[in-house]
A and B are shown apart, each in its own frame.
Chain A
Amino acid sequence: AQTVTQSQPEMSVQEAETVTLSCTYDTSESNYYLFWYKQPPSRQMILVIRQEAYKQQNATENRFSVNFQKAAKSFSLKISDSQLGDTAMYFCAFIAYTSGTYKYIFGTGTRLKVLA
């Protein structure tokens, strides 16, 4: 069974500093996708970044980047130059095609607070 684990329930970071959120997953699939979603206080789910498992290059979106370690099944999110607007819940998600359909599995989330 596929699982996604976010071991840090809460984190905080000073504005303008860098923070890394951890995510590990477990799967026997070889082809899958990984995502980070952000949920600000408005509760809307916003896609932050995505990574295809077959790509070795780490994905980057402006201040957001990932460290994808396929062998270790690790997919951490790095936020550089943290801004107050980055305060949110962050969910790691895993998608694999198995048993005839795509299965989406979300981690339990990491609550990030950016401090002024």
Chain B
Amino acid sequence: DSGVTQTPKHLITATGQRVTLRCSPRSGDLSVYWYQQSLDQGLQFLIQYYNGEERAKGNILERFSAQQFPDLHSELNLSSLELGDSALYFCASSVGGPGQGRNTIYFGEGSWLTVV
């Protein structure tokens, strides 16, 4: 158990709909990362937050948005869903942002999204 909690574990929804994926980082971790992994694909970095602020953006679609709340949990919002958005969405967390030492990231178990 990495200590990173993601909900829901599985989600099936229709095209055009909107879903929200939730992530609670490990206790003490200030950074949260979101990754997308399609079937048999590598990890696509979506976005990173540190202590509530957006720190880095990757290949995140405009239909997707995220935020990190004062209690450090994070949500990834996916809207106008398409079939191609079906994937495993990982949340990961690490201790620190800029100026910190080790920044090992620990992954949650992922949220399986199926768009039908």
> A residues bordering B, Cβ < 8 Å?
33, 35, 37, 43-47, 50, 52, 91, 95, 97, 100-109
Besides A52-B102, A91-B43, A100-B98, 10 new A-B residue pairs in contact (Cβ under 8 A), listed by A number: A43-B37, A44-B107, A45-B90, A45-B107, A46-B2, A100-B55, A101-B50, A104-B105, A106-B43, A106-B45
| B42 adjacent to chain A (CB < 8 Å) | yes
Q: Please pick, from B94, B98, B107, the residue contacting A97 in the complex, using a CB distance under 8 A.
A: B98
The A/B interface has a contact count, at CB < 8 Å, of: 54
Q: Please pick, from B37, B42, B90, B103, the residue contacting A102 in the complex, using a CB distance under 8 A.
A: B103
Nearest-neighbor residue (CB-CB) of A107 within chain B: B42
**In the assembled complex, which residues on chain A have CB atoms less than 8 Å from the CB atom of B104?**
33, 35, 47, 50
**In the assembled complex, which residues on chain B have CB atoms less than 8 Å from the CB atom of A108?**
42
- What's the minimum C-beta distance from B7 to chain A, rounded to whole angstroms? 15
- Is the beta-carbon distance between B105 and A101 smaller than 8 angstroms? no
Nearest-neighbor residue (CB-CB) of A52 within chain B: B102
Report the interface size for chain B: residues with CB under 8 A from the other chain. Answer: 25
Within 8 A of A (CB), among B80-116: 88, 90, 92, 94, 97-98, 102-107, 109-110
- Is the beta-carbon distance between B42 and A101 smaller than 8 angstroms? no
Q: List 12 A-B contacts (CB under 8 A).
A: A45-B43, A46-B107, A50-B104, A91-B42, A95-B105, A100-B98, A101-B98, A102-B31, A102-B97, A104-B33, A105-B45, A109-B42
The complex places the Cα of A103 from the Cα of B48 at a distance, in Å, of 9
**In the assembled complex, which residues on chain A have CB atoms less than 8 Å from the CB atom of B88?**
43
**In the assembled complex, which residues on chain B have CB atoms less than 8 Å from the CB atom of A44?**
107, 109-110
> B residues bordering A, Cβ < 8 Å?
2, 31, 33, 37, 42-43, 45, 48, 50, 55-56, 88, 90, 92, 94, 97-98, 102-107, 109-110
**In the assembled complex, which residues on chain A have CB atoms less than 8 Å from the CB atom of B37?**
43
Nearest-neighbor residue (CB-CB) of A35 within chain B: B104
**In the assembled complex, which residues on chain B have CB atoms less than 8 Å from the CB atom of A103?**
56
**In the assembled complex, which residues on chain A have CB atoms less than 8 Å from the CB atom of B98?**
97, 100-102
**In the assembled complex, which residues on chain A have CB atoms less than 8 Å from the CB atom of B110?**
43-45
